[in-house]
């Protein structure tokens, strides 16, 4: 399963390559309010240009592998959480969004919360390490700190999806045995 993030990223690179080579950058597959539902599914793999894809790729791979330290179940849960919150945005908010950044924020949210929920030494170290290494991404959750054209809604919905995933898959410590 270590290939899973590379395969998913490969899909995004393939889509961008087709877009740039065959369609001159005009073949985006975003999630658009009122548009087809498949836009929710294709949005993470669609980017506005090469720099958008490269930027997301640099965050996506390391965060993916850090989540995979907790297992494939956790990784899949983040993707499901991100898709679930994206579907709610698609249904209710008049915005468009695309790119892996929603997934990046979902992965980051999972990593930040899982240590606090599980209170296991490795999970706590992972959460604190991610806060130190990736905490600089957190201001982009605020609309007034995003440049025009950047979907802070996509960031925040992905972040919420990652929080939901952490709550859903946390490993609860087994209760201590009663002394007899």
Q: Give the pLDDT score at 5.
A: 98
Are 65 and 71 in contact by the 8 Å Cβ rule? The answer is no
Ramachandran angles phi, psi of 61, nearest 5°: -65, -50
- H or E, element range at 145: none
Determine phi and psi for 25, rounding to 5 degrees.
85, 10
- In this structure, what token pair is assigned to residue 5? 């993030």
Q: What is the pLDDT along the chain (180 residues), one digit of tens a residue?
A: 789 999 999 999 999 999 999 988 888 788 998 899 999 999 999 999 999 999 999 999 999 999 999 999 999 999 999 999 999 999 999 888 999 999 999 999 999 999 999 998 989 999 999 999 999 999 999 988 888 888 889 999 999 999 999 999 998 766 654 444
At residue 75, φ and ψ (nearest 5 deg) are -65, -45
Give the residue from 153, 162, 156 showing the smallest Cα distance to 130. 162
Give the count of beta carbons closer than 10 Å to the beta carbon of residue 74: 21
- Identify whether the C-beta of residue 101 lies closer than 8 Å to the C-beta of residue 155: yes
- The alpha helices in the chain, defined as continuous H runs, are 4-23, 38-42, 50-68, 72-92, 101-118, 121-134, 152-169
Q: Which two tokens stand for residue 38?
A: 């498949």
Domain chopping of the chain, boundaries: 4-169
Q: 4-169 adopts what CATH topology? A: Rhomboid-like fold (1.20.1540)
Helix or strand or coil: residue 178?
coil
């Amino acid at each position: 399963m270590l290939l899973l993030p590379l395969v998913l990223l490969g899909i995004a690179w393939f889509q961008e390559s087709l877009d740039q080579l065959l369609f001159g950058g005009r073949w985006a597959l975003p999630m658009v309010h009122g548009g087809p539902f498949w836009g929710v599914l294709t949005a993470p793999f669609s980017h506005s240009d090469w720099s958008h894809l490269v930027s997301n790729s640099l965050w996506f791979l390391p965060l993916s592998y850090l989540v995979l330290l907790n297992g494939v179940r956790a990784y899949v849960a983040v993707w499901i959480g991100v898709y679930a919150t994206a579907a709610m945005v698609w249904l209710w908010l008049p915005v468009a969004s695309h790119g892996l950044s929603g997934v990046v924020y979902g992965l980051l949210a999972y990593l930040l919360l899982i240590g606090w929920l599980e209170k296991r030494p490795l999970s706590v170290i992972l959460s604190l390490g991610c806060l130190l290494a990736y905490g600089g991404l957190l201001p982009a959750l605020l609309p007034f700190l995003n440049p025009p054209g950047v979907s802070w809604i996509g960031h925040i919905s992905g972040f919420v999806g990652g929080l939901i995933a952490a709550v859903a898959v946390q490993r609860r410590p087994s209760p201590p045995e009663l002394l007899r």
